[in-house]
Amino acid sequence: MHVLTVALYYAILASSWNLIAGYTGLFSLAHHVFAGIGAYASALLVIRTGIPIPLGIACGGALAGAAGYTLGALTLRLRTLYLALATWAFAESIRLVVSMEYGLTRGDLGLAVPKLFRAVSPTPYYEVFLGCTAAAVAGLALLLRSRIGYRLRAIRDDEGAARAAGVNTVRWKRFVFGLSSGIAGLAGALYGHYIGLLSPAAMRFDEMALIIIMVILGGQRTLAGPIAGAVVIEVASEALRTYGQLRMVVFALVVLAVMRLYPAGLMGIVRAAIISRGRDRS
């Protein structure tokens, strides 16, 4: 149950990163840090002000969304490699600040966080994460089928042509940065109140690499892909935990194989199998 709960947390992160990278074409390397911003913001607000945990989670998501919106505004003219480097630099800067501010975040010592439920069983958290994942995916589905979704795809395919067609690329790039970061912040805040302990280790680049692997393995530009990738990678990660960082090497090799043989990921394999079965029946 715990493994599935963590997998659902990563599914939310992967789905929201897929929105900004897969559907809009903006390759950000700071998504994991927005989850951390939401987690620390919620925890500190609850601890220092005594506000209810649900309100703290909402505030953490809002702060992460505002940070993402600001980062999007500062990197509007950057594309591809330059955008990735800028967002990576932002992520590392935030991680270092959190590590050094012992008086506020307790740095590497870890910050104890009040839990959302008093129950020891992970079942209530699993149900909450399941509902949040369903809500996030449903919301993204509605967004992508709206005019906003078409504008985001236009920016991904050809930003210059989208601008010439009347799409306000500046507004929508800031919007998608803020929205995806806010979703990540909400997930991070909820996860913090589930785990009960926050550490800057969760802001290392390994976390961002996992999110990217989940999306690529499951299938970019699909709604089910990031969820499938998150579940497969989290279950495999738990099974390979005794091998330490070697599991990242295994994941990298798997991703290389998938990109070489099935660029569409697991969803592409499933789609091809369905089409093949349909042809056999006909």
pLDDT in tens, 86-109: 999 999 999 999 999 888 888 888
Structure confidence at residue 158 (pLDDT): 86
Rounded alpha-carbon distances, angstroms, from residue 140 to 32, 36, 49, 81, 215:
19, 22, 33, 26, 15
- Ranges of each domain in the chain: 2-202
d(CA 179, CA 187): 13
Q: Output the pLDDT for position 52.
A: 94
In the chain, pLDDT over 90 holds for what percent of residues? 53
Tell me which of 277 and 154 has the higher pLDDT: 154
Better-scored residue on pLDDT, 45 or 266: 45
pLDDT tens digits for range 22-63: 899 888 999 999 999 999 999 999 999 989 999 999 999 999
Q: How many CA atoms lie within 13 A of 150 on its CB side?
A: 6
State the first-to-last Cα distance of the chain, in angstroms, to the nearest integer: 41
Q: pLDDT tens digits for 180-234?
A: 999 999 999 999 999 999 999 889 888 998 999 999 988 888 899 999 999 998 9
Beta carbons of 187 and 13 less than 8 angstroms apart: yes
Q: What's the pLDDT band for 170 if we cut at 50, 70, 90?
A: confident
Mean pLDDT (the chain, rounded): 89
